[in-house]
A and B are shown apart, each in its own frame.
Chain A
Amino acid sequence: MIWIPVIGLVLGVLLGFSFNLYIPLQYSSYLSIAILAALDTVFGGIRASLEKHFDSSVFISGFFFNTLLAALLAFIGVQLGVDLYLAAVFAFGVRLFNNLASIRRLIVNRSRHSEKNS
């Protein structure tokens, strides 16, 4: 199961490189925040699927909503002269590490269970 997002990610990277897409440099900071939000959503999705309560509508809506909200927050911050993107970096950063820690624990527990069963 864990290979699905990995394969998707690799495919996305290959697609991106083959089309050689880029955005104006001044918008790259917004995209970086959006990527952080997207990473958080994907890891959240992996965690939810491991915990057996994955909901694809929550996942898809979360991906787009979080991504756009993070970019919007960064944009508003630039307009107001306040580093609002730091709020997004902090929030998504903490969630990302929590999700990663949960995924690690779930995988470790599962492997222990399978060892006991065998």
Chain B
Amino acid sequence: METKHKVSLFLVSILLGSMLTVQFTTVHRPRIDNKVVDNVQMNAELTQEKDRQKFYYSEIDRLEQQIKTYENKQGNREELVKAMAEDLDKVKLLAGVKAVKGNGIIITIEDSFDAVAAGGDPSKAASLDYYLYQLINYLNGNEAQAVAVENHRIVSVSSIRSISQNNLQVNAVMIDPRKISIKAVGNIEQMKIGMNLFPQFFREMGKDFKVTDVTNGSLIIPAYESTVDFKYAQPEGDKKL
């Protein structure tokens, strides 16, 4: 066999070996593209993270300011009490025990003959409480900052229960399930996007689902009025309620 032939066979074999290795490495390489994230989603997450960072920075500034206020007003008892009352107001706002006002939406869910005629089944309304709670969950997840059902503020200890076909209980108060009004203060567009599937759910129960925008900042969400006896939950640490 000529040397030329040997060299060509040798070189081609080297090339083949390299190709085999490249293929092997490619196939056995740990795949990082399992979670393909598109640009839109990534941008949205980035914006969200930036907003969150901004919020935390402002919160640090606020707390530093608060410390300074307390330090400056140590001598003046009246002003110290005033500053503490302002903080208490903020905490009340967060807890939902203070009425709030702003832009938002009013959702009206009521029995409708048209919805029944279109195939809605009123017997499905047995799970009305479940869908109402789901709706509130979606509103909260889409930038609602305060929600009330029939003017009963929804807070962390709130409950919605279907007692019977004609009785719905919100925060332990009976309301008429034939016509329910839900008020939500928050980002109107975002809340509407978040609940886009719900009109269909309620129509299937034979109910009409209407949404009215309130854009003049006059939508009032009342405060949570019941008292909560914290006999089971206590603050972490030595202090007791």
Q: Which residues of A contact B16 (CB under 8 A)?
A: 8-9, 12, 35, 38-39, 42
Q: For the complex, what is the distance from the CA of A19 to the CA of B8, rounded to whole Å?
A: 23
Distance of B72 from chain A, by nearest CB (Å): 63
In contact, A59 and B9 (Cβ under 8 angstroms): yes
Q: For the complex, what is the distance from the CA of A34 to the CA of B25, rounded to whole Å?
A: 16
Q: For the complex, what is the distance from the CA of A54 to the CA of B20, rounded to whole Å?
A: 24
Proximity string of chain A (18-35) to chain B, C-beta cutoff 8 Å, 1 when within and 0 when not: 001111110010011011
Chain B's closest residue to A8 (CB) is: B13
Known A45-B9, A59-B8; contact A21-B21, beta-carbon cutoff 8 A: yes
Known A32-B23, A56-B4; contact A22-B29, beta-carbon cutoff 8 A: yes
Q: For the complex, what is the distance from the CA of A114 to the CA of B9, rounded to whole Å?
A: 25
Q: Which residues of A contact B31 (CB under 8 A)?
A: 25
In contact, A4 and B10 (Cβ under 8 angstroms): yes
B18 within 8 A of A: yes
Proximity string of chain A (80-98) to chain B, C-beta cutoff 8 Å, 1 when within and 0 when not: 0000000000000000000
Q: Which residues of A contact B9 (CB under 8 A)?
A: 4-5, 8, 42, 45-46, 49, 54, 59
B172 within 8 A of A: no
Q: For the complex, what is the distance from the CA of A4 to the CA of B160, rounded to whole Å?
A: 81
The contact size tier of chain B is: 20 to 34
Interface residues of B (CB under 8 A from A): 1-2, 4-6, 8-27, 29, 31, 33
The contact size tier of chain A is: 35 or more
Q: For the complex, what is the distance from the CA of A32 to the CA of B29, rounded to whole Å?
A: 15
Chain A's closest residue to B27 (CB) is: A28
Q: Which residues of A contact B4 (CB under 8 A)?
A: 56
Known A11-B14, A22-B26; contact A56-B5, beta-carbon cutoff 8 A: yes
In contact, A54 and B1 (Cβ under 8 angstroms): yes
In contact, A12 and B23 (Cβ under 8 angstroms): no
Q: Which of B6, B12, B23, B29 is the one whose CB lies under 8 Å from A35?
A: B23
